[in-house]
């Protein structure tokens, strides 16, 4: 067992009573994210669109579980691996896929593409391409909420590669000092591109960074959507009721490469296969089976998801590109 593998072993919580409709909803969301990204990978390989594409496959329970703990008026801000967070916050697969294709019907009129999804009405404040660059922005939105007294919470997602960045410390320090209603979620998928965490941080328990700022922390494995929802739920309550930030480290794994051009030479096939045994989508299906949801009902959810994603791809294919003359309209404001 490698050093990385040893770090993610932890005891499981006891069984909980669960609401069937919620389980169905979480499974539908995780599966739709998985299928949407598989469709995106295929389209990218067929050169239907260019730029970068960082897939979230393997981490689905984190975005779905954490965002399930929010109210619609709460803010979510994320990095370049943000397709899942956008979908879980309510953006339609159509709008996401069309954005990747660079089409006018995309959420940013096709001008952003992957890394730049944004949906102001749903309070999804974006993907950001600069590692850690959005963490002070999250402190800013939480400051605005506190100043206005609007009761909103900001969830800020970032990778383990952000933790050594100055922006991380700046954002967390101010959030702690000013008691801001924000939850910092480090999605620790063990690698920053090809660099394992122990080569970039001397203390690989990321949650310990909270100690230096005097804020609450939590740390757990992220394959179980219900665990993620419940544990992030505690942090969200702390933010909303006590106006106090929390730093949460969720250990997870990306099954695909860092981006589409990553050959994955820094990890073994065996390691990837080992993690696939803890597939959050498979875990979600097992939760439905445990809750005695009939196989036919699960198959119906799966068929509906397939249809949703196929329709979204078709929508993107059929959509027009933004007319060249309109480009500046969204770039400059007089
Ligand atoms: C400030 C900055 N430095 C370097 C890069 C290049 N870069 C893009 S992604 C990445 C790795 C980040 O890894 P992590 O934060 O762990 O997120 P993950 O990709 O694992 O989700 C790097 C170094 C960047 N985008 N921004």
pLDDT in tens, 128-183: 999 999 999 999 999 999 999 999 999 999 999 999 999 999 999 999 999 999 99
pTM, 2 dp: 0.94
Ligand 1 center from residue 131 Cα (angstroms): 5
Determine whether the shortest distance from the Cβ of 134 to ligand 1 is under 6 A: no
With the most atoms of ligand 1 within 8 angstroms of its CB, the residue from 4, 193, 252 to mutate is 193
With the most atoms of ligand 1 within 8 angstroms of its CB, the residue from 161, 167, 197, 252 to mutate is 161
Residue 77: strand pairing partners: 156
Answer yes or no: is pLDDT of 258 > 90. Answer: yes
Tens of pLDDT, residue by residue over 301-331, are 999 999 999 999 999 999 999 999 998 887 7
Phi-psi region of 11 (alpha: psi -120 to 50; beta: other; left: phi over 0): beta
Tens of pLDDT, residue by residue over 169-209, are 999 999 999 999 999 999 999 999 999 999 999 999 999 99
With beta carbons less than 8 A apart as the criterion, state whether 171 and 139 touch: yes
For the CA of 258, the closest atom of ligand 1 is: 19
Radius of gyration (Cα) for the chain, nearest Å?
Answer: 19
Average pLDDT over residues 29-52: 97
For the CA of 197, the closest atom of ligand 1 is: 16
Ligand 1 center from residue 191 Cα (angstroms): 9
Ligand 1 center from residue 139 Cα (angstroms): 20
Tens of pLDDT, residue by residue over 268-305, are 999 999 999 999 999 999 999 999 999 999 999 999 99
Outline where the chain has alpha helix (H).
3-7, 20-45, 60-68, 83-88, 93-100, 135-148, 166-177, 225-242, 269-276, 280-290, 295-318
Answer yes or no: is pLDDT of 4 > 50. Answer: no
Determine whether the shortest distance from the Cβ of 159 to ligand 1 is under 6 A: yes
Determine whether the shortest distance from the Cβ of 192 to ligand 1 is under 6 A: yes
Residue 331 confidence (pLDDT): 74
Ligand 1 center from residue 84 Cα (angstroms): 17
Residue whose Cα lies nearest atom 25 of ligand 1: it is 130
Please tell me the distance from the alpha carbon of residue 62 to that of residue 74, in angstroms, as a whole number. Answer: 17
Determine whether the shortest distance from the Cβ of 84 to ligand 1 is under 6 A: no
CA dist list (Å): 328 to 96, 113, 322, 323? 22, 17, 11, 10
Q: Band of the pLDDT at 2, cuts 50, 70, 90? A: very low
Ligand 1 center from residue 161 Cα (angstroms): 6
Answer yes or no: is pLDDT of 39 > 80. Answer: yes
């Amino acid at each position: 067992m490698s050093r990385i593998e040893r770090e993610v072993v932890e005891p499981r919580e006891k069984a909980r009573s669960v609401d069937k409709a919620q389980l169905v909803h979480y499974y539908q969301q995780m599966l739709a994210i998985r299928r949407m990204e598989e469709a995106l990978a295929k389209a990218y390989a067929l050169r239907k669109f260019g730029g970068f594409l960082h897939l979230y496959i393997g981490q689905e329970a984190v975005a779905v579980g954490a965002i399930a703990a929010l109210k619609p008026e709460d803010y979510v801000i994320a990095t370049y691996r943000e397709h899942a967070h956008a979908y879980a916050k309510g953006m339609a697969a159509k709008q996401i896929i069309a954005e990747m294709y660079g089409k006018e019907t995309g959420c940013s009129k096709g001008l952003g593409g992957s890394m730049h999804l944004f949906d102001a009405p749903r309070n999804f404040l974006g993907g950001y391409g600069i590692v850690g660059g959005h963490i002070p922005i999250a402190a800013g939105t939480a400051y605005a909420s506190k100043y206005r007294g609007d009761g909103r919470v900001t969830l800020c997602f970032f990778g383990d590669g952000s933790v050594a960045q100055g922006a991380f410390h700046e954002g967390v320090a101010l959030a702690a000092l000013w008691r801001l209603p924000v939850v910092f979620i480090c999605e620790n998928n063990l690698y920053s591109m090809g660099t394992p965490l122990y080569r970039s941080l001397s203390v690989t328990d990321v949650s310990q960074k909270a100690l230096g700022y005097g804020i609450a922390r939590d740390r757990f494995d992220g394959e179980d959507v219900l665990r993620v929802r419940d544990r992030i739920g505690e942090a969200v309550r702390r933010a909303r009721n006590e106006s106090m930030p929390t730093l949460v480290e969720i250990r997870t794994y990306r099954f695909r490469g860092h981006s589409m051009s990553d050959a994955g030479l820094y990890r073994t096939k065996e390691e990837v296969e080992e993690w696939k045994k803890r597939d959050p989508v498979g875990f979600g299906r097992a939760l439905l089976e445990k809750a005695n949801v009939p196989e036919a009902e699960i198959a119906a959810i799966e068929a509906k998801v397939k249809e949703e994603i196929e329709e979204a791809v078709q929508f993107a294919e059929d959509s027009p590109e933004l007319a060249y003359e309109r480009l500046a309209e969204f770039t400059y404001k007089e």
